[in-house]
A and B are shown apart, each in its own frame.
Chain A
């Protein structure tokens, strides 16, 4: 027994090698579930891929033809524009609301505990279910939203929130914000709890008001976590799909055609152009990557 123990002790790996060994399972898992699909999607985007080719497993190489096709497609460019509007609106509103709510629930009040629990509820609702709930809320004749506006006198006639091209994209954005906001609140709330209270006390002694304390202490210290939220939420907002599927299906007309909906329609409805669908997702991924790099660079430069 003693010999075996000393043998194991003598054979213990150096810290660097141990670190590599410990990371290998994670690396392999990530390679399998992330790297391979990303590589495979890139491969598909350079080939002609439809049902018959997928079944046979033989994909003719077409070079950049699929990319050429999407950039020639007015609908793809419109979908990108809609995606940008959707992302800018939803991420901005989400960050502002998340900071406000995180500050509120950070107060030492007994109601904060109840609020902390309640804000998690939307996060637990599956995206499609959330979309369907909101499509009922938006219903022209029977929806709660029109009923509330009508009974409170804010509107004299019903509004087709999801059916009017002027409001449809925002009608999709609101459920998305509602569903994903808790994630941002949780991160910000955790970050708020890590801020040393002595900083606030010192600032108060120096005569700083609430707004000044927020601007000069809270916000700078929250910047790293805001960057994380910006990167994550922008990435996910760029890939919005569930709400579009459940509420508008891209309509009315092309008012809510977003990039992920475009990829889905290209790849999963006749004539099943998987190669074109893959190419469009790649363009999307590159845009998201560039925005993430820009965010990190911009915010950290300011922090330094």
Chain B
């Protein structure tokens, strides 16, 4: 874990420019397309169908299924469940000896899936080294486990704040520059009856919602949850503990929308799009894809991004697709995996480009992040320049919470959800919450 931490660096994009400049030229601004690579060669074996097991996100899988069928004549079957239900769905299928060619994982579940034997290493497969070379730092830190390439990137994201321009103008506020200023603005907005609940937090139970908000603000204030030796940093006076105290205050003073505690990613963006709150707490940048979509939001175009206070540092992460050990045919499963997380037959990162253009998702590939799929494709919902400037200040979340690399992180994350929810709803203090979480580390480590 310490070795991994030592390797953790900022996501950065400027250092990728040289590597991707040629790609941009070749692809007319799109990610590089090389039709002669291993992705264009048909597997020697024959299969009737292949399948993947994923969580839902719009209709992003329809196109890629059709493309696979058109390119290779093989039907792609899908099993799609809700994000929070995905681990259970995958687990029951795997345990029930069902065939699973490709699946996906959040960075928080991935070490667990690997330790349970679900994930097939990719290093020796044709073209794997090319993918590895093109991975961003964030994607590499998730996809490479114990020195082996274990997955290909689904998408990358960074945590940004949002504000609603109409209420900002009504309150005559400028975007806050410190947490103290934010609290003052929230109090004033409530007092002046600009809105009942000036801030909406993404604090529903999950892996990245409630915990992610705490991780992000702690990191932005200069704290971490574990140091590089693996010691927790939740004790009295720690940044994480003080951050939690500050956060609780927004609930105690009824400044935070009570619905925050149920908010998931998309739901929170939709709720914020209703225009009842001034700020939305830090969460995935692509929430704008919902909040600024005229079909989904009555205030489309009025939701803006805002960087974090101070030096503006924030967190980011990457979700991955992986080749499941329960596959029907390794060659075909690898082919399907590439259609989801790599290149299609034409040498394009088709899925990553579609995800950027259709859903505002970031990519785990340097070449895609530098392509017009991002710099132009994101424009309908937000300012790519502004978001990419925030991207430059993002660090992979494992630097803040290195326990992500441990199989016990998932059950510990459950405890975070429980205890922090209790703290935010006034059942326990921030001190009691952190003390319980410290004790829980030993419990979950026992397995």
What residues make up the interface of A, taking CB atoms closer than 8 Å to B?
Answer: 50-52, 54-55, 73, 75, 139-141, 158, 160, 162-165, 249-255, 257, 265, 268-272, 274
Contact = CB atoms under 8 A, between A and B. Distances in A.
B116 A253 contact: no
Interface of B: 84, 87-88, 91-92, 94-95, 97, 109, 112-113, 115-118, 205, 258-259, 261-262, 276, 326, 407-408, 410-411, 414, 417-419, 421-422, 424-425, 427-428, 443, 447
Given A141-B259, A252-B422, A269 B95 contact: no
Contact of B425 (A165, A249, A274): A165
A263 B84 CA distance: 17
A272 B116 contact: yes
A252 B116 contact: no
A162 B276 CA distance: 21
A51 B117 CA distance: 8
B259 A163 contact: yes
Given A140-B259, A249-B84, A272-B116, 6 more contacts: A54-B95, A55-B95, A55-B97, A252-B421, A252-B425, A271-B115
A141 B276 contact: yes
A54 B447 CA distance: 17
Contacts of A250: 205, 418
Contact of B447 (A139, A265, A271): A271
B112 A270 contact: yes
Contact of A271 (B84, B411, B419): B411
A270 B410 contact: yes
Nearest to B108: A270
Given A51-B116, A51-B117, A270-B109, A253 B418 contact: yes
A163 B262 contact: yes
Given A163-B425, A270-B411, A252 B261 contact: yes
A271 B410 contact: yes
A51 B118 contact: yes
Contact of A160 (B92, B258, B407): B258
Given A51-B117, A55-B326, A140-B258, A272 B91 contact: yes
Contacts of A252: 261, 421-422, 424-425, 427
Nearest to B210: A251
Given A51-B94, A54-B95, A55-B95, A271 B407 contact: yes
Contact of A165 (B88, B117, B427): B427
Given A51-B95, A164-B425, A270 B407 contact: yes
B422 A253 contact: yes
B427 A55 contact: no
A268 B92 contact: yes
Contacts of B447: 271
A52 B97 CA distance: 11
A252 B426 CA distance: 11
B205 A268 contact: no
Question: Which of B109, B326, B417 is the most central at the interface, judged by chain A CB atoms within 10 Å of its CB?
Answer: B417
A302 to B, nearest CB: 41
A268 B91 contact: yes
A270 B95 contact: no
Contacts of A141: 259, 276
A168 B386 CA distance: 41
Contacts of B407: 270-271
A254 B418 contact: yes
A135 B443 CA distance: 33
B247 to A, nearest CB: 15
The 6 closest A-B pairs by CB, nearest first: A253-B422, A54-B95, A270-B112, A270-B410, A268-B88, A51-B116
B421 A271 contact: no
B258 A253 contact: no
Contacts of A265: 414
A128 to B, nearest CB: 12
A283 to B, nearest CB: 19
